[in-house]
Structure 1
Amino acid sequence: MRLIGHPLHPMLVHFPIAFWIAGSLCDALTLAGVAGARPIAWLAIGVGVTIALVTMAAGAIDFAALEERLVPAAMRHIALMATAWLLYAITFVWRSDGFSPGDGPVLLPALCGFAGGIALLGGAWQGGDLVYRHGAGVTR
C-alpha cells in the first residue's frame, strides 16, 4: 500500500512504537514515584494500541505482495509485533476503568508493558532487517 508513491506501513510504524515507548517510560516514572506519569502512560499505550491496528492493516497489504523468500522473516516480524500489540493491549485494558485510567496497582501492568517492549524491540529489528537488508517494499 502506497501513499504518494511511498509505502504506507514504514511511515506508520513510528507512531505506535513512539507511543508504546513513551507509555513504558511513564510506567517507569510512575514506579519511581512520579504520580502524574500514570495517566500519561495509560493514554500513550492506548493511542499506540489503536494506531497499531491501522499500521498492521497496511503491513498485511504489503505482506500479500512480498517475495516468497522473505516470508519466513516477515512471519517472525509479524509474530513479534503481534505479541507486542497483545501485551500492550492487555496492559491497557488491565489499567483501564471504563474509558479512563484506573487507580489499581501499577507493577504488574507495567511489567506486562515492559514485556511488550521487549517483543517490540525484536519485531522492530526484524522489520528493519526486512527493509534495509532484504529490500522489502523497496522500489527498484
Structure 2
Amino acid sequence: MARHPLHPALVHFPIACWSLATAADFAGLWLGEAAWRWSAGLLAMGCAMAVAAMAAGLLELARVPEGRAMRDAYAHMSAMLLALILFGARLALGLDGLRPLAPDALSLLLDAAGFALLVLGGWFGAKLVYHHGVGQNGHAPAGACRAIK
C-alpha cells in the first residue's frame, strides 16, 4: 500500500495565510487597521505551517528522481525558503513587542517580494507533480516524465 505524501496536505496553509496577509496589508492602505490588523497572525501561522511543510518536503525529497526533476525540486525549495525568510522578516519588523504595527513601505515590499517567490515556488511545485509525476505513486499523468536524466 502506497503512503500519501504529507507535504501536499500541509502546503495549503502557508499559501493561504501568506496570501491573505499580503492582501490584508495592501488593503490596509485603503481600509486602515480593520484590514492590516489580521496580518501578523496570518504571517505567524503561515511561517509556522511553512516550517512543517518544509520538513515534510525534505522527508519526501528522496522520492524525486535525479536530473531535471531534482533541479526543479531545488528551485522549488529555494523559492519557498526565501519566501519564508521574507515573510518572517515582515512579521518581525511589523511587531512592537507582540503588538502589530501598521505596514510601512518596507513591509509592503517584503509582502510583494515574498508573494512573488510564493507564486514562483508554487509553479515549480506544480511542475514537479504535473510534469515530473512526483508524488503520483506510480500513476503519473499521461506525458509525465518519471525520471528525466
Question: Structure 1-normalised TM-score?
Answer: 0.91
Q: Aligned partner of 1:40: which letter?
A: W
Q: Is the 8 A contact 1:31 1:107 kept in 2?
A: no
Structure 1 residue 75: deviation in Å? Answer: 0.6
The match for 2:50 is: 52
Quick one: distance in 2 between partners of 1:23 and 1:94?
A: 14
Instruction: Please identify, of 11-20 and 57-66, the stretch whose mean Cα deviation from structure 2 is larger.
Output: 57-66
The correspondence for 1:14, drawn from 5, 12, 15, is 12
Q: Aligned partner of 1:132: which letter?
A: Y
Quick one: distance in 1 between partners of 2:136 and 2:101?
A: 44
The match for 1:88 is: 87
Q: Is the 8 A contact 2:21 2:39 kept in 1?
A: yes
- The runs of 4+ residues in structure 1 deviating greater than 3 Å are none
Give 1:8-87 correspondences, 5 Å limit.
8-69=6-67, 70-87=69-86
Q: Is the 8 A contact 1:85 1:116 kept in 2?
A: yes
Find the structure with the greater CA-based Rg.
2
Quick one: distance in 2 between partners of 1:39 and 1:33?
A: 11
| Residue ranges of structure 2 left out of the alignment (5+ in a row) | 139-149
| Residue ranges of structure 1 left out of the alignment (5+ in a row) | none
* Cα root mean square deviation, aligned: 1.5
